[in-house]
Amino acid sequence: MVTQAQILKWLQTFADEIEQHKDYLTELDAAIGDADHGINMDRGFKKVNTQLPSLADKDIGSILKTVSMTLISSVGGASGPLYGTWFLRASTPVTGKQELTEQDLLNLLQAGLDGVLQRGKAQLGDKTMVDVLSPAVVAFGQAVGEGKSTLEALHLVVVAAEQGMQETTPMLAKKGRASYLGARSIGHQDPGATSACLMLKCLLDSTSSNDLGI
């Protein structure tokens, strides 16, 4: 099970990690984008962080929906709509829940991915956050199907996410600002894939940080 408290901790941890990696994400974006990914993400998640105390008594779906609205209203570029859509769609299958089973978490991750696919129109191999989110969902689904625990499944998610992130480096960008560069986009790690990988690592860290029967 993943508890409501762990979801709140995940969001706070992700906000902290975005702040720590702000310059790195912006540096990655400077090579193939508008040089603002880290700045924009940090702005949005700083606002998310300030809202977390007021969400302490809310269900998980409501928490994720609030995160979505905050990001959409405060994050510029493509990051706001895409991450906002991810959290909004992820909130739907967990509405009213105070804890998540493995299947609930799979539904959350799948819904978030579906939202990004629909909003951004990117596919696997286009050099975007989809190259992290898609294999992560596949890995989690396979692990759940094999009867693995949430923690075991999330470890496999992070392995898949890291590999997907690294595999964006040799790709030709086909979506977003980076696609305007054509062949010059090859050889650079995608910033959106990098922040998405960070998000999933933080989910693992927040879930494994205490023993709540997971």
Residues 6 or more apart in contact with residue 70 via CB below 8 angstroms: 44, 47, 48, 51
For residue 207, with 0-12 CB atoms within 10 Å meaning exposed, 13-18 middle and 19 or more buried, which class applies? buried
Q: b or e along 91-117 (b: 16 or more beta carbons within 10 Å of the residue's beta carbon)? A: bebbeebebbebebbbbbbbbbbbbbb
Report how far residue 101's alpha carbon sits from residue 140's, in angstroms, rounded to the nearest whole number: 12
In a domain, 202, yes or no: yes
In a domain, 154, yes or no: yes
Task: Write the pLDDT tens digit of every residue in 4-52.
Answer: 999 999 999 999 999 999 999 999 999 998 899 999 999 999 999 999 9
In a domain, 214, yes or no: no
In a domain, 213, yes or no: no
Task: Write the pLDDT tens digit of every residue in 135-179.
Answer: 999 999 999 999 999 999 999 999 999 999 999 999 999 988 788
pTM to 2 decimal places: 0.95
DSSP 38-93: HHHHHHHHHHHHHHGGGGTTS-HHHHHHHHHHHHHHH--TTHHHHHHHHHHHHHGG
- Using the predicted structure, report yes or no on whether residue 76 has a pLDDT greater than 90: no
- Could you give the number of structural domains in the chain? 1
Residue with more model confidence, 75 or 203? 203
Beta carbons of 13 and 206 less than 8 angstroms apart: yes
The H-or-E segment that residue 99 falls in is: strand 99-100
Q: Domain containing 142 — which CATH number?
A: 1.25.40.340
Report how far residue 49's alpha carbon sits from residue 43's, in angstroms, rounded to the nearest whole number: 10
In a domain, 82, yes or no: yes
At 210 the pLDDT is: 57
In a domain, 105, yes or no: yes
The H-or-E segment that residue 100 falls in is: strand 99-100
Give bridge partners of residue 87 from the DSSP assignment: none
In a domain, 170, yes or no: yes
186-200: average pLDDT: 97
Give bridge partners of residue 99 from the DSSP assignment: 3
Task: Supply the range of the domain harboring residue 21.
Answer: 2-208
Task: Write the pLDDT tens digit of every residue in 110-126.
Answer: 999 999 999 999 999 99
